[in-house]
């Protein structure tokens, strides 16, 4: 298997491990709608640590459509009161595993909020939009694996 960490970062990943700490700006227009679901536009108390990525083209040369795709692993933390903003999984399917804590998930394919606990897994296909909120006083940690074409999913 080819490790992405050993290859040049032609599409803008600056380092093998990348940590982003995001804070929400104040403003009146703080929500947006995706796939019939309305949620906050800005993250609060969320950090993402990129663990690594694998270019799928060399792994699957028999599938030309996979040429530009990556499989990426990320470690996500959401502080108490934190928010993962609304986002779409169009062109970016993902599997999320809750490692520690409890977090509320809002999904476009479900009525009402879903309480996710340590050990829970979500499967997020092309049709899903979602956002998350940590209503507890504990930090939540999750491991996310997603598949993406960096040209189609800039900023994710």
- What count of other Cβ atoms lies within 10 Å of the Cβ of residue 125? 11
| Residue 55, domain member (yes or no) | yes
* Domain-located, residue 83: yes
Is residue 8 assigned to a domain?
Answer: no
What CATH number is given to the structural domain containing 39?
A: 2.60.120.10
Please state the rounded mean pLDDT for residues 138-146. 98
Is residue 100 situated within a structural domain? yes
Number of domains in the chain: 1
45, 78 contact by CB (below 8 A): yes
- What pLDDT digit, counting tens, does each position of 40-50 carry? 999 999 999 99
Instruction: Give the percent of the chain with pLDDT over 70.
Output: 79
Please check whether residue 19 lies inside any domain of the structure: no
pLDDT at 26: 45
Residue 66 forms part of a structural domain: yes
- Of the ranges 15-19, 28-32, 139-143, which one carries the lowest mean pLDDT score? 15-19
């Amino acid at each position: 298997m080819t490790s992405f960490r050993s290859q040049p970062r032609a599409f803008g990943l600056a380092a093998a491990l990348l940590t982003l700490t995001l804070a929400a700006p104040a403003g009146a227009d703080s929500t947006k709608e995706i796939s019939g679901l309305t949620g906050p536009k800005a993250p609060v108390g969320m950090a993402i640590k990129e663990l690594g990525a694998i270019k799928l083209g060399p792994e699957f040369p028999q599938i030309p459509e996979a040429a530009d795709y990556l499989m990426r692993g990320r470690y996500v933390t959401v502080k108490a009161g934190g928010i993962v903003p609304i986002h779409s999984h169009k062109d970016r399917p993902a599997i999320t595993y809750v490692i520690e804590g409890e977090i509320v998930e809002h999904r476009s394919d479900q009525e009402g909020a879903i309480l996710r606990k340590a050990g829970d897994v979500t499967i997020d296909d092309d049709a899903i939009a979602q956002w998350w909120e940590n209503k507890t006083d504990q930090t939540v940690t999750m491991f996310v694996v997603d598949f993406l074409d960096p040209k189609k999913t800039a900023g994710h």
